[in-house]
Every structure is written in C-alpha cells, then in structure tokens.
Amino acid sequence: MSPDLALGTYRCRDIPQAAVAAVACGASWIDTAPNYHHGRAQAELQPVLAGNRDLRVSTKVGFFTPDIAAAASDAGVVTPAEAASGHCLTHRYVAWQSHHNRAELGRVPDIVFVHNPEQAGRPHDAITSAFTALEAEARAGRIGGYGVATWTGFDGAFSVADLLKIATHCGGRGHHLSAIQLPVSLVMLKPVAQALEGTGPLAEATAAGLDTFISAPLHGGELPTMVTDELAQLIDPGTTPAEAALRVTAYTPGVNHVLLGSGNAQHWEAAQRVLALPPLPDKTLHEVIDVLGA
C-alpha cells in the first residue's frame, strides 16, 4: 500500500498557502509544532483546520520560542534554567503546552509528538515524564494519542521497544502511544537499510501497529541538487532527481506518511504522481544503499 502525503510545516514560509495546496492534492495530515514559524504555525493553521474537519493534525511538545518560555515561566511551569534551554519535557510543562496547542489549533490534535527527547540529559526519564502527562490528556479526550518525533534518537538513545515499555508503564496495556516520526532520505539511509532487513524503528513500529511519519524526505529541499543524473537513473530511469529521491523514501518498507514541506502546488502535484507509481523493488533499494552506504 502506498504511503500518504502529509504537510510538514517546519520550513514552510507561507503555512496557510501550503495547507491549501496540500488539501487540494488530497493530503490527509498536517504536522506542526508550537515553535514552528516563530511560534505562529498553529494559529495560522486554525482557519484551514476549521474548514476541513476531516483533515487530521499532529503537533508537538518539547521545544518552545522565547515568547512561550516567558508565558510558561509566568505560569510557573518551567524553571529559569528550563526556560533558558528552549526545551522541556517535564510533566507540568507538557500538560500546560498541550492545553495551549489545543487552543491555538482550535481543535483536539490527533497526535502530540514528544519532540526530540534525545535532547534531554536522561532521555528515558524525559519520555516517561512526557508520556505520563500525555496519557492523562488522551484519557481525558484532550488529545487523540501521542508519539515521539526524533532526529537521531533511534541511533542509540532509545528504541521503539523502549517507547512501548514506557507507554505500558504509564498507561497500561490500553496506552495511547500511536506513532513515531523520523527522517528517512538518501542522506538518512540507515532506516532504509534496517527496514529491508526487518529491523530498526520502521519494522518495529509496523509490528507494534504504530503509525510512521517521515520527516525531511528531500533533506530540507537540498537533495534535488545533490542527486546526480546517474543516481536518479539507477533509482528509476526517466525520473528527475527530486522524484527519484522521493521514491526511495516513499517505498521504504514501513513508511505510512511522508511529510512534504512545500507551499508550491506544482511540487505537491509532482509528489502525488510519484506516490501513485508502482513501489520500488527491494533490489533497487539495496543497490542504492550499496552505492551510497547507510
């Protein structure tokens, strides 16, 4: 089954425009965070979400802007040191930020991701604290579920098995851990190699029934200029460098949603065409890894 296209708002310059383009191309998800677009991303999405009730949305807790730090300090939910760090996953802060996320989005978020817990000095303790708060939010119906969005966390700080163990500790067998988010691209090939061997976060998440969201499939827009014509033809003859790069990410085993961070309608249409193509053979993915390394 082909993965879905979703809007990732991290680098969007015009979030409302990007959301309209995404919806027009059939995107079913928008992913955001309270610190994106100088802290304005969630509020800018509210009109689009209000006008598209079937559109699902994920947001995050963890990083915050100076304005959020000041408000959280005034509310007494972060210490001066936590406010200065720009990242916090304590129970009191996560519960407070969850309330503000919901208010800014104008609706209950479908998923709240714990954002880069590898930033914490003790990641497992930080995840436990955040999951405890988010489990309470989910049981009260204030969020749909929760997950972990990470850049490097699955490289040794924690595993999907660790997340499931912590979620079970916090919420029992009926816990609300529902998804993971991680980068997969021609620059970040390790998850591809692992998935082909039936190991790593994508395979473990699939086995556990967790949803998977892929960030930075084009590495912040840099990949199209990095992929040679020779590599593009190895991946899929006749495709452009951008299409070839997206093909590898989209058809890695275990990928459910691919986050595209563009406001350009033509980019969305091109990505939609790529995801409608037949899956790449595992043999091709192995060849790409042999050429580039994992």
Q: Taking the model in full, what pTM does it have?
A: 0.97
**Confidence class for position 170, pLDDT limits 50, 70, 90:** very high
Distance of alpha carbon 100 from alpha carbon 94, whole angstroms = 10
Distance of alpha carbon 182 from alpha carbon 152, whole angstroms = 8
Q: Where are the domains of the chain?
A: 4-292
β-bridge pairing 29-31 and 56-61: parallel
pLDDT tens digit sequence for 104-123: 999 999 999 999 999 999 99
Give the torsion sign (CA, 46, 48, 50, 56).
negative
CATH 3.20.20.100 fits 4-292, yes or no: yes
pLDDT tens digit sequence for 204-233: 999 999 999 999 999 988 888 999 999 999
Selection from 108, 111, 101 nearest residue 31 by Cα: 111
